Amino acid sequence: MKKVGEVVLLWLLILFIHNAAGEGYSPPGKPTNISCRSPEKETFTCWWKPGSDGGLPTTYALYYRKEGSQRVFECPDYKTAGKNSCFFSKNVTFVWVNYNITVVATNSRGRAFSDPVDIDVVYIVKPNPPEEVVVNVTEDKDWPFLQVSWKPPKMADTRSGWITLFYEVRLKLENKNKWEEVSAGQRKTLQIYSLRSGGTYEVQVRCKPDHGFWSEWSPSSRVKVPEYFPQERSMWILIVVFAAFILVIFIWMVYMNFHSVKRYLLPPVPGPKIKGIDKQFLKSGKSEDIFSSLVVSDFPPTTSNYEDFLVQYLEVYVPEERELIMDEGKDLQDDSFKTENSTCDNDSGRGSCDSHTLLTDKGGGDKEDGQQSDQEGSQAEADTKSQEEALEEELLACSHENLQSSNVSNEKEKVKSWPSLFSPLPQYSLSPVNRPNPPKTGQQHCLSDSLFTPNSMPSYFTQPGPSTRKGFRSNYWECSFDHKQSHPLHPQSAAHEHLQAQNDLNTAHVDYMGAPLDVHVLNVRPSEYVEVQRVSVEDGVLLHPVSPSQEDSRTLSHQTEDYSRVRVVNNDNGLLLLQRDAIEEEKSMCPYQEDVVSRASITPTLQNSATGINIALPILDEMAASGYIDTATMFGLPTH
């Protein structure tokens, strides 16, 4: 029983399966995807996709109708084109004719019709790939390129003009995946440049009719490009070297101009500005303005300040009394100073009008001025140098003048005038000249100037710096003027005139100097006053320094220095007093100084008990090492 049961179950199972299988029989499925292609526009092939066969052998049939006809034709050839295809030969192919194609699947159960498809051969042309693709590597001056050539597919008749094909080429490196496509038009050759050295290329070609589909790509044609990289390498080396060279030059240029660049970026700290001078103003370029700008108010010394240097003036006023007064006759000195200065002119460049040994009242005035100037300030220090220079200049000028002056008469005159200075009696040699108290200003200029010693300068001259020079100049002027004027004159009359000229100069000079300067000029070195201790009967004059009581302490220090020594004593009572410092200079520069005797006009008012002029040559020699004395102080200043 169990066996039967099993057999029955088995049979039932088989039946069941069989029935199941048997119910699978069905009409075939509908064929789909009918596509037709013509390779040359002369034949075409259609393919379809069969549906399910329904479990039964299914046959497929293709039927077509041409436009304008109801006649149905069946596919003539199912085999040529493979399975599920239909090949239309030339005989049945008509171009510009609309085909309506239907595929029918048939099996025992039924049949299935596919959807109809309309085709026109003209628009379904898909040619075969181009044939005989040849790729050559052509060497062109070491820059190779590819030469690709091909032929149209055999089937397509392009020669008769039946089909017009357009070609396309593509290539890629063997390793890469990206293709590069190049259109070739209707040509059958193509050149490809810009190849990679040593690379291997694959080249493919395809074609398309003017109205149709692209063909498949032709099989790859491989080609290897030869190595031409070494040239590139050498070129790269050249480029690198050149670039390095340019870089080195650039760095060097930057290095050379580093300072200018640095200066541009970090401008230097501007230097100190000169007070009173505008840099921009200087840049403006006007010379006049520039020079005026350079002129500081205080420097160079104005004319007025120069009169301070007139302190050097020694106006030896020889009054009829011929008294030597060492005191400060301020008032008198002022008067005499002003009058006696007229003899000297303001001609710059010339030294004092006469010899250096002029003693004028100026000295007193200078002394007076000196007092005041001392009180004023310490500008003398600044003047020292200028004064020194002026002194030297004056000495030079004096030397020149002395050289020039060849008038013995002058000397005589001076000599003549000299005694009047020292002798109490105003036996003025210029007797023909009857001048009661003529202000006879000796040519003290040089002398007075010589009084200015470098050491003594600062103390005695409190004048402003710029004035110093001018004062010297004035003295120079006086000197020269004296000489000039004295030449054409008669000896005696010349002397007279000389005196007068000198007086005039001095006076004029004094006037020119102006009042304040007069004061200053007069303020020579009070300490330099040489007191005439004793006046010998004949020719002796003893000079000793005046006590600095009336002057500042400053002057004290320079007392000794200012002692003059009698350089020479003329026969006619001429005494040349030299300051200590100036002696040496005098020896070298002023050879005539010995002969020149400054005339000192001694105001008659000079009365002083202390006015004892002790002139002792030896003493003076000692003391006069420094050169000229301030004869003005010595003689001219009334020491009241």
Partner 1 sequence: IRAASSCTNGQTGCHFLSLANLFDRVIQHSARMHGISNDLHSEFELYFLPSKNQIGRVSRNCHTSTILTPNGKENAQRIAREELTEVILKLLVAWREPLWHFHQNMAQHREFNNFSSNKSLEMSEMVHELRRGVQKVVEKMQMLGVINSSLGNLGSPEALLASDRAEWRLMNDYDLLYCFRRDSNKIQNYLKILKCRIVPEHGC
Query: Nearest CA to 457 among 360, 390, 545?
Result: 390
Asked if 68 is part of the footprint of partner 1 (rule: CB under 8 A), the reply reads: yes
**Contact with partner 1 (CB under 8 A) among 77, 157, 381, 621:** 157
**Contact with partner 1 (CB under 8 A) among 6, 174, 210, 622:** 210
- Please report how close the Cβ of residue 164 comes to partner 1 at its closest, in angstroms: 7
Asked if 159 is part of the footprint of partner 1 (rule: CB under 8 A), the reply reads: yes
Q: How far, CA to CA in Å, does 412 sit from each of 325, 428, 486, 503? A: 24, 12, 12, 17
For the chain, the maximum distance between any two Cα atoms, rounded to a whole number of angstroms, is 205
Asked if 67 is part of the footprint of partner 1 (rule: CB under 8 A), the reply reads: yes
Among the candidate windows 79-87, 96-104, 129-137, 190-198, which touches partner 1 by CB under 8 A? Answer: 96-104
Nearer to partner 1, 102 or 605 (CB): 102
Q: How far, CA to CA in Å, does 355 sit from each of 313, 511, 587, 596? A: 11, 21, 14, 5
Asked if 89 is part of the footprint of partner 1 (rule: CB under 8 A), the reply reads: no
Residues 397 and 629: their CA atoms lie apart, in Å, by 18
Q: In this structure, is the dihedral angle defined by the CA atoms of residues 532, 538, 539 and 540, taken in order, positive or negative?
A: negative
For the packed helices 465-486 and 408-422, what is the interaxial angle rounded to 10 degrees?
120
**Contact with partner 1 (CB under 8 A) among 30, 36, 42, 366:** 42
Among the candidate windows 63-71, 269-277, 365-373, 383-391, which touches partner 1 by CB under 8 A? Answer: 63-71
Nearer to partner 1, 155 or 173 (CB): 155
Nearer to partner 1, 100 or 557 (CB): 100
Paired residues of 87 in beta bridges: 45, 77
Asked if 208 is part of the footprint of partner 1 (rule: CB under 8 A), the reply reads: no
Asked if 113 is part of the footprint of partner 1 (rule: CB under 8 A), the reply reads: no
- Please report how close the Cβ of residue 156 comes to partner 1 at its closest, in angstroms: 11
Residues 632 and 640: their CA atoms lie apart, in Å, by 15
DSSP SS3 for 534: strand
Asked if 97 is part of the footprint of partner 1 (rule: CB under 8 A), the reply reads: yes
**Contact with partner 1 (CB under 8 A) among 29, 52, 65, 454:** 65
Residues 380 and 540: their CA atoms lie apart, in Å, by 34
Nearer to partner 1, 90 or 262 (CB): 90
Asked if 181 is part of the footprint of partner 1 (rule: CB under 8 A), the reply reads: no
DSSP SS3 for 309: helix
Query: Nearest CA to 319 among 417, 431, 438, 413?
Result: 438
Asked if 154 is part of the footprint of partner 1 (rule: CB under 8 A), the reply reads: no
How many CA atoms lie within 13 Å of 373's alpha carbon, on the beta-carbon side?
42
Nearer to partner 1, 130 or 319 (CB): 130
Query: Nearest CA to 608 among 634, 576, 574, 579?
Result: 634
Strands (E), 454-569: 530-535, 541-545, 564-569
**Contact with partner 1 (CB under 8 A) among 100, 147, 293, 372:** 100
Question: Where on the phi/psi map is residue 89: left (φ > 0), alpha (ψ -120 to 50), or beta?
Answer: beta
Asked if 155 is part of the footprint of partner 1 (rule: CB under 8 A), the reply reads: no
- Phi, psi (rounded to 5 degrees) for 73: -120, 155
CA 232 to chain centre: 47
- Please report how close the Cβ of residue 113 comes to partner 1 at its closest, in angstroms: 12
**Contact with partner 1 (CB under 8 A) among 20, 96, 269, 285:** 96
- Please report how close the Cβ of residue 95 comes to partner 1 at its closest, in angstroms: 5
Asked if 160 is part of the footprint of partner 1 (rule: CB under 8 A), the reply reads: yes
What residues have CB less than 8 Å from 502, skipping those under 6 apart? Answer: 340, 343, 344, 353, 354, 358, 440, 441, 442, 443, 478, 481, 482, 599
- Please report how close the Cβ of residue 96 comes to partner 1 at its closest, in angstroms: 5
- Please report how close the Cβ of residue 69 comes to partner 1 at its closest, in angstroms: 8
Nearer to partner 1, 185 or 219 (CB): 185
Asked if 162 is part of the footprint of partner 1 (rule: CB under 8 A), the reply reads: yes
Note the residue count of the chain: 640
Asked if 584 is part of the footprint of partner 1 (rule: CB under 8 A), the reply reads: no
Nearer to partner 1, 75 or 535 (CB): 75
Asked if 93 is part of the footprint of partner 1 (rule: CB under 8 A), the reply reads: yes
The count of chain residues that interact with partner 1, using the rule CB under 8 A, is: 30
**Contact with partner 1 (CB under 8 A) among 12, 95, 239, 247:** 95
Contact 552, 622 (CB under 8 A): no
**Contact with partner 1 (CB under 8 A) among 26, 61, 106, 122:** 122
Asked if 71 is part of the footprint of partner 1 (rule: CB under 8 A), the reply reads: no
Paired residues of 566 in beta bridges: 577
Paired residues of 102 in beta bridges: 63
Nearer to partner 1, 209 or 465 (CB): 209
Asked if 289 is part of the footprint of partner 1 (rule: CB under 8 A), the reply reads: no
Residues contributing to the site for partner 1 (CB under 8 A): 41-42, 65-68, 90, 93-98, 100, 115-118, 120, 122, 157-162, 164, 186, 210-211
